[in-house]
Structure formats: structure tokens, C-alpha cells
Amino acid sequence: MIYTCYEMVRDCRANLPEGWGYFATEYVPLVRRVLAHYAPSGDGALLNRTLLALREPQSSLFQTLEPAPERSFVAELRQKVLAELPAAAPEIELDLETLAAALEPLTTVEKQAVWFETMRYTPPETGPMVKMEPATVEKVRARAAELLRGRIDRWSSAILAANGPALGRAAAAAATPDCLPVKACLDLIDGRTTWRGREESERHVIQCWRCVDRHCRMLEVVEMLRGLTPLTPEEAEPFRQLLGIEAPKASGWKRLLGFGG
């Protein structure tokens, strides 16, 4: 019997060990991967603090019971993990309105290539996600830098990455009635959208930074899930203890054979 992500969310919300045990085994590696990218200087203590914050009753990660693709859950998990990270104030502040005005001449995919810079991805890392050669990503970002320099008084080559968290929050808050739902975004990524539907979606996305952000986050989720390996029972045990998850009860035949209590 297949245990789904939806069932895990249901069981975690009910504080059942089955749900939390599955979360520890399947999604601690994902949390590690997110932290390794966004907080590379962090240690095990940061991972533990983040997991304990997700375990808190007030955490909204497991509040929805709507059946949804695993990638939707992972996108929400990513947001919750990033919310636990301390955000240093950038030396030079950049607001979303200024960035949007500067980058208005760019195409949708070019805006995505630039937005991945706010998410701290290099051109070689960004290229496969937006289906561009790394050299092309570099050229797009160089053009974006020139466009942005023409609108601000102070400049730094790290301005986009430094303002990434604030820009991400601003984009997520800039919802419109025409914004694409997560399913439509995944359909675009998976190639399940008709040509007409794709054109209509791109007409909206090219002028909506909330949807640029969401599309990039979903592309990132697809990349982060690639090659992810669940923890073994031995590897998961410290996290089960950390989260206060009860040990699974062995079935009758295992008890008879002495394999569990």
C-alpha cells in the first residue's frame, strides 16, 4: 500500500507517529538541501532548530488537508524553512517596484534567469532550470545589471542576492486575481499546457513578479527533488528522537522473532 504525501500531511496534523516518521525519513534530506543552499555556513544545530520549528503546533505547514502534488507540499516546506533563517539587512536596499520597472524590457524567461540570482543560483546552476546555456544566463544578467544601474544611485554586484529574501516576500505578497494557481504552474513545467493556454499564461507572467517568483520556486523544487534519497532507519532515528516521535510498533511476527518491542 502506497503512503502518500497527502496522508502524511493528514497524519502529521493529527500528530500521529506514522506521519512524523515518514516526514523524518523522506523530507529531512530535502530540508538539509534547502539549508545547504540558503545557509551554507549553518551546522547541525540550525537543522535541528528548523525541524523543531516545523514540529511546533503553530506551524502552518501541515494545516491544509487538500490533496495536492508532492511538489506543492515541498514548495510550502521550502518557504517555511526559509522563514526560519535570520535575514541580514542588505547594504544597499532594492525594492520590487524598482526592479520590476528596470527589467520591464526582458522576456519572461529572461526575468526568470535574473530572479534565480535573487535565489543565489549561479549561471551554471540556473541554466538547466530555465533551459538556457550558462553563458546566455550571464549575458541576460549583465543586461539586467545595466538596466538596474540606470535606475538606482548605488550599486553592488551582490545587490540581487542580498535583497533576495525581501524581494521574495514582496513578490509573494503581490497577488492578483489572474495569478496562476500552483497546478497551472506545474502544468507549464511538465508540458501539459496547450499552446494557447501557454500563451495566455505567459502574457500574465511577463508582467507579474509573483508568478515569476512562483514559477522559479517550482522549478527549484523539481531540481531539489531530483536524486533525493530517503534516510535509512538508522539515519532517521536521531531525528525521530529530536521530534519526539514514538517508535513504530513491530507487527506480531516480528515480536515473535525478536525483531522489535
Q: What is the pLDDT of residues 170-214, one digit of tens each?
A: 999 988 888 888 878 888 888 887 777 777 777 888 889 999 999
Average pLDDT, the chain: 88
> CA separation (Å) from 131 to 2, 108, 135, 137, 147?
33, 13, 12, 10, 23
Q: 234, exposed or middle or buried, with CB in 10 Å at 0-12, 13-18, 19+?
A: exposed
pLDDT digits 0-9 by tens, 33-81: 999 999 988 778 999 999 999 998 878 888 876 766 788 899 999 999 9
Q: Which of 8, 255, 37, 60 lies closest to 126 in space, CA to CA?
A: 37
Q: What is the pTM of this model?
A: 0.87
> What pLDDT, on the 0 to 100 scale, is given for residue 213?
94
